[in-house]
Structure 1
Amino acid sequence: MMPPFSSDQPRTILIATSAASDLAALGDTLARYHYQLHAVSRGDAALAAAAGGDIALALLDVTLAGSASLELCQRLKRASGRVLPVFLLSAQPSEDERQRAVDAGAAAYLPLNFDAEHMAEKILLQLKAIAPAPIVAGTPTMASLEVNYHTILSGSPDSILLIQRGSSKVLDVNRSTRQLFGMTETELVQTDLPSLCPPLQPDGRDSRQVFDAYVERVMAGDMQVFELAMKHSSGRLMTCDLRMVPLNTPGYRLMHVRIIDLTARKLAAELRDGKNVLLEMIARGAPLRQTLERLVLLIEAQLDGGFCTVMLLNPDGVTVESAAGPSMPADYLAALNGLSIGPTAGSCGTAMHRKQTVVVGDILNDPLWASYREVALHYGLRACWSMPILLDQDTVLGSFAMYYKDVRSPTEDDRRLISAATHLAGIAIARTRREDELLRHREHLEELVSARTAELRQAKEDAEHVNEELSTALDNLSLTQEELVRRDKLAALGALVAGVAHELNTPIGNSLMMAGSMSERTAELRRDMEGGLRRSVLEAYLNEAASADEVVLRNLKRAAALVDSFKRIAVDSAGSQRSRFVLGDLIAELLQSLQADVRRHGLDLIEDVEHWLEMDSYPGPLTQALSNLIDNSLVHGFDHARRSDGAITIIAHDGGNGEIAITVSDNGAGIPAANLARIYDPFFTTRLGSGGSGLGLYITHNIVTGVLGGHIEVSSLEGKGASFTMRLPKVAPR
């Protein structure tokens, strides 16, 4: 009886495993008891699910449970906040691991490849959703129950034998066993099990020795199921699975043997694999006769004493030719060549004439074989079934035939087999014919190509003449291009040198002017000393010297700062340290250092960063680039008046394709459209004379496109703010 459903109890069963499993059957069984299954593949996901509080029981793969102490088992219990039973699942159970599971507090230790019904029962019993079966007084247990073995054996649908261990003598069999071997019970109980096998197994080993070795392994507990070649009373070989269970009774040593005939399954697998090989041969363009002979041998391996042939209908549509029949007499196949198809032309000729399957179960008495009966009987052929090979409903390619040396009719399996063989033969023949057609077209094309060769040769000569002229022009163009590139480089270098000279000229000129002035003042002081120096004159000189020192020192510091910024123009990775880092940590440290300066301008600093993005790059240059962009916003975006709503925003997210997109934007003054094309030029600034050198964005551009291996984009509307986006690879180029 199912206990009443309670909605306030956890109703989710958590299963955490990295192995791919089909959990549909388990989920269906648990659903009948109002439980649902929640599957995860990582330990952190399992902890998050347990913390949700709706987990009634957890199934945990030991590969996710942590180290030798299986600590995730305890962590799941603590995360749940309630009593949480945990079943540990192992792909390779061992006693050592079982003990560690007990020490970790697991409620059960079970194999990972569990049976869904068995696992559902254990879960429901653990959660008391079902009650165990009660033990009723007076009811026998299986341990005390005695039954008639022969009665059970007789009623089993499986083939079962009871043998004596040691002698392997057959003591009892059931009806299925008699049918399997085609023998009576009296015949079977007068033999031993190895005698039901061929003398040698397919690998050449003695069957009796192989069986005795398997029995020893079964008794040692090493195995219970093994494969053995056995023999039907007709001599037909069978591939069988034997499952053996030892039975110990007072005074007897017995073995329970269950036999499963795998022959049909093996043949089906060989047919499937053979079809794949044939299709590969066809796709590869193997010779037609080789392909058809491989097909015939494949089908013959599926038959019980049958032989196969493939006949082709010649292009005249009347006569036939033998294409394959490796197991048939060569003289018989030769006798078929050139025969005509017709309404009474044996099995193959009639099938091609009628365009339908023809079954002759007794060649001796069938009128279709009247003209060929003596030839067939000479080679011992008594039955022949033939199916036409059709390209389409009206086009016959040939026929596929099965021969037997006894009178018989096809079974449904035989009909399916000949149909599959005919289909494969049709594919191979059709492909060969298409290739022949392509060959004929190719030969025709070669004639056309030859006819066009003379015209093309003349055209080629004309084209070579034109090409010479174009080559000369191209050489001249290349020289001109190289000269233009050299001029552009010189112009860029000249602009850079001019900019450096312009920036340094002011502080150096101021220093020179002040030094010259103090030199003249010093000469005057010397002259005054010869006539007697007054205290007021000396004090005036010292005041002027102090003022001059301050001016010179300030201008020299300015020059030094400019030189330092010039040194950062040629940014490369040689002097930068490369490392793996978390982008969120780097940006957090940068913003902390800039927070005071941003607040001093009365602005908000907004961060929207996917914190755990990882990069293998150069943190120093990246920090410098970000700092330059923020400084650019402070200096140029908010250089006029303080705004109550002014803000600088940094956004970083995964841009896909192995890139990270970092955007620095503001809602300040923006960049005039006329200046957008020049913002990355060295020494270009709109704050000339206000302390800006015009190198910030130039250096940033060099860092992004050079060291960091990315690119930078800008968008701006005047009065609406500016936005710079750096798209950087997660792994910087080396």
Structure 2
Amino acid sequence: MKQSIPSQAARSGILLVTRAPEEMHELLLELDRHGLHAVRARDLDAAAALSGDAIALVLLDAALAGADLAGACRRLTGAAGTPLFLMSAAPSAAEQSRSIGAGAADYIKLPCKALELTEKILVELALREGAPRLPALPPATALRPQTLEVNYHSVLAGSPDAVVLLDIDNDRLIDVNHHAGRLFGLGIDALLQSNLAALCPPLQPDGRRSADILAAGVARALAGEIRVFEMRCRHSDDSETDCEMRLVMLSVPGRHLVHARIIDLSARKLAESLRAGQNSLLEMIARGAPLTATLDQLMLLIEAQSPGALCSVLLLDDDGRRMHSASGPSLPADYMAALEGAAIGPTVGSCGTAMYRREPVLVSDIEHDPLWAPYRGLAKPYGLRACWSIPILGPDAVLGSFAMYYREVRSPVPDDMHLIDVAVHIAGIAIGRTRHEQELQRHRSGLEQLVAERTVALTQAKERADQINAELAGALANLSRTQEELVRRDKLAALGALVAGIAHELNTPIGNSLVVCSTMAERTRLLREGMADGLRRSALETYLGQAAEADDIVLRNLQRAARLVSSFKQIAVDRASSQRRRFGLRQFVAELMLPLCAPLRDSGFTVEQSIPEALLLDSYPGPLGQALSCLFENCLRHAFDGRSRGRIAIRAQAGDDGGVALAIADDGVGIDAANLDRIYDPFFTTKLGSGGSGLGLHIAHNIVTGVLGGRIEAASDGVNGTTFTLHLPASAPAATP
């Protein structure tokens, strides 16, 4: 037997065919909220396998349909004619036309709000129940839901918002739900005799005509759009309500029907007003506005949120016993004055009791509540019937109370309690800040007195300090004079040592020359006197031999003196006169060592060289050779004192900074640690008077750090020899004139 197709009501599955169903999470939640479950597929084959009797509607991504859009729709709608919505992330007029030709019930342009798409699905499902066909429109007096499908009327009845169905051709409402009657204050029959424009004031707040706005919205809805806009609607008592209208066209052949959902925005507007008011109040508090002005604005804000409410704030004094009026802009001034200075207690109305108990006191009927027995006569003349009071608590004490009065017997609802929480919270912030500022002011006053006292003490201390500073200045001046004298004496001592050293070094060759010259002068005088008696050949030969020997002695001593003078002149190195060029370090050192090592032949001293061929310098070879000669000669003169053999090693390697490290090391006696810090001082030598001038290392240091732009290091343990290391840049700095 052939199986029957289930009715639309038996179907609750929505087949969602898209590559990324997780991106439509909000739609899935909306469908579930309306009792529809989503069946998801990522391609057409999987969707075809899932489509069946339980599927009420198909949502197909146009990207998966491919070129054969009609074939894809037929595969998924099947014999049951399941409605299909085609969704497109790249909508076009051509694709929309092809989707209609392929049998799609609607064409959805993505992105689309989940709520709007769900609403379209619900309307489509309602209209599909039993393949509805609406008959011709009867006279207006007979317009009732009989002209509609029962399922659509059920959708209207179950909607949480006001919903009406518009017949555009006849400009009438042809179906409404009970929420619409409550929103407009009219019965269903009265609504069905009306149109949507008649339910709105003639003009909207922006000055536009309501009829024009609705006509434009309906036209856009009939074009296939879901129109969402704000409108102000009118109640039968002439009060007006801000609403949001959602217009959706119903796809019914031969009819122009628009489904309108009208959402009351009063709660939303109140919530927005409350948030804006809270922000404004917090700004007032942050700016340090007066407490009374802040509390008055807070009371007016809460009263605007709850029509009929009269709000007040009472403050508790510092001793925690009496209350004082702080704000009650809408309450009678005489009433607020009567509460001034009243003592709190267990039966002192709502506010005094709330502060006493430190808990809310909600009195719904002042006239019959025992807490108000002493104050009933005070409230009655002003028509106050209900009072809800909540204590405002600080960190360690009660600050005051917030109260909401009504002129009718009334108990709070959850919305009222929310308003109370907001008011108490903000009032607590404002009062706490004010008390904190008052406390700061008290501390400030105390601090001012303390500052005055400290100022006097500091003034006295300053006077003492000035006196001490004057004494210190005198001592410093005396110390400066003493220091200058010591420096002068040190300079004189150094100059004396320099002069003594130079005199000692020059005295020997000059003295030897003077002795020889004076001796030869005496012998020349004797020779001249002997010529009168006749000069013998042997005497002349003897004199000539002595003269030659004297010449040799004088020449040697004068040459030694000249070398000493030349070494003194080398202290100041003239960079500008040095010739700069690019040269290989290995060949340069080898050529330099040739004459320096000549005197060491056939001796017990050896010189080793270990320099890579690739090391190149762009520098000044003259000054570099001079520095190396000074170091080499210093090594020969001092390193091997008392030894007949030794080794000098000259080695080089590339430095970490791109330069060259050139070292001269010996295995001699080393340098005493006490002398290492002084070896570069001019005229410092351990062999003053023994041929050393004390200038060699000073000259080498000046050349390396000045002309060559490097640095020199000395390392010695005083026993196992000494190593001098020259750290030279690959390219020396340019010479300055």
**TM-score, with structure 1 as normaliser:** 0.48
- When Rg is computed on C-alpha atoms for both structures, the one with the higher figure is 2
**TM-score, with structure 2 as normaliser:** 0.48
